[in-house]
Amino acid sequence: MTRISTYQIQQGAINSMLKQHETLSRTQQQVATGKKIFKPSEDPVAASRVVNLKDTLSSIDQHQSNVDAARARITLSEGVLSNVVESIHRVRELALQANNDSQNESTRLFISAEVVQIQDALLNLANTTDSNNEYLYSGALSRFKPFSRNEAGGFEYNGDESHREIQISRTRRVAVDDPGSAVFLEIKNGNGSFNTQDGLENKGTGLIDPGRASGDYIPDTYAIIFDQSYPEYADKENAGRIPLTYSVVDSKGHVLSAGIPFESGKEIAFNGVHTSIKGTPEDGDIFISRPSQNQDMFTTMQNLINALQSKTPGVNDKIAFHNAINRSLTDLNQSLNNILEVRGNIGARLNALDAQETINDAYRLQIREILSNVEDLDFAEAVSRLNLELTGLEASQKAFTRVQDISLFNFL
């Protein structure tokens, strides 16, 4: 028979009550905080999951902040380009107005003054900064002013060709701007394939159309040369008058066609070039078709300003003026198309941000639900457990009191 001393009985009872107190205290703390885990040692696996899930939530929150920042910058750029489009439309209206023969040199100077103001405003728009005082169109060199005038009167780009990107999800990045070179500089002049020009020494009234390129276009410099060297085409009904004909020559001097009778407004086609000339060119007049080159928007407007400020005392001067204005209108259309294309890309990015924001919100909600299942307390179960533990502690205390009163001396 094992003998248990009174001390052992009391100590065992006290230890049992202390353990119940500890269990009850932990349950009370769980109910008070709503959390199941307070120390990693209580549940290492669950604690590790909590850390990972909270890191994921932090990343999602950062991605959502990035989405907001990207949307603000892209929206700012969209607003700038909207103003650029309005400026180009206004300049086109002024060019069409000036191209009317009812205008004279004085009124065209007034028109040119407004175009100069629009050109300055356009330059300021291209040098727009955001709320952080960073330039929108400098690429990665956001602290450098992208566009400036040089001493020769031209325009220089001081940025680079980079797109600034921002992380909007764990695996996705989006460009928040466009380099100024792509927006304002890299614009093909003419019709985008070639541009047409009249000869400086032309004496007739020929106005050349900007034309279009077909699929078989062969890029090269071509000359359309007018002459009257083909007497076999003489018009016998008009006293043997020799009609005006033209020849087409490429940059190597190869004659592609020769002796073709000219008709005002009739299409002239060769090697994928399709154009026409209205009016009456004279013998020796020449028109050129060159492959399109990049021409910045500011230079396009400067060419228009130069044309508006030119003197037109004679008929030939007026014809040269109209050809120059027509070229400017064509180049302005190219600038407008380029801006519209950039704005289309901006719209696609804004749609991407909206879609990613929705995905991030759904992902965040899912992670929060998982985190809640791992660390949040089931209050109904915890309260029931608390009541059970409290009842057990009270019973243990009452039993201890009863046992403590038992002594052998009570029976002597």
| Closest alpha carbon to 107 in 309, 376, 249, 246 | 309
With b for 16 or more beta-carbon neighbours within 10 A and e for fewer, the 64-97 pattern comes to bebbebbbebbebbeebbeebeebbeebbebbee
227, 299: one domain:
no
Dist. CA 75–CA 64, nearest whole Å: 16
Q: Do residue 217 and residue 171 come from a single domain?
A: no
Give the whole-angstrom CA distance, residue 155 versus residue 37.
Answer: 66
Answer yes or no: is pLDDT of 15 > 80. Answer: no
pLDDT at residue 240, rounded to an integer: 45
The model's pLDDT over 246-289, given as tens digits with 9 standing for 90+, comes to 999 999 999 999 989 999 999 999 999 999 999 999 989 999 99
For 133-171, the pLDDT digits (tens) are 999 999 989 899 999 998 888 899 999 998 888 999 988
Is 49 a member of any domain? Answer: no
Q: Assess whether 77 and 164 both reside in one domain.
A: yes
**Do residues 38 and 29 touch, judged by C-beta distance below 8 A?**
yes
Considering the domain architecture, whether residues 275 and 156 belong to the same structural domain is answered as no
For residues 185 and 318, state if they share a domain: yes
Q: Can you read off the two tokens belonging to residue 258? A: 């020769």
- Give, in order, the Cα–Cα distances in Å from 271 to each of 160, 257, 282, 289: 37, 11, 24, 11
- By percentage, how much of the chain surpasses pLDDT 90? 59
pLDDT confidence of 7, banded at 50, 70, 90?
low
Residue 333 belongs to a domain = yes
- Mean pLDDT value across residues 52-75: 91
Q: Residue 95: its pLDDT value, please?
A: 96
- 23, 141: one domain: no
Residue 12 is part of which domain span? 1-34+383-412
Asked if 211 and 263 sit in the same domain, the reply is yes
| Residue after which a domain boundary falls, among 292, 308, 335 | 292
Q: 82 and 203: one domain?
A: no
Is 228 part of a structural domain of the chain? yes
105 and 117 fall within a common domain: yes
Same domain, 260 and 323: no
Tell me whether residue 356 is in a domain. no
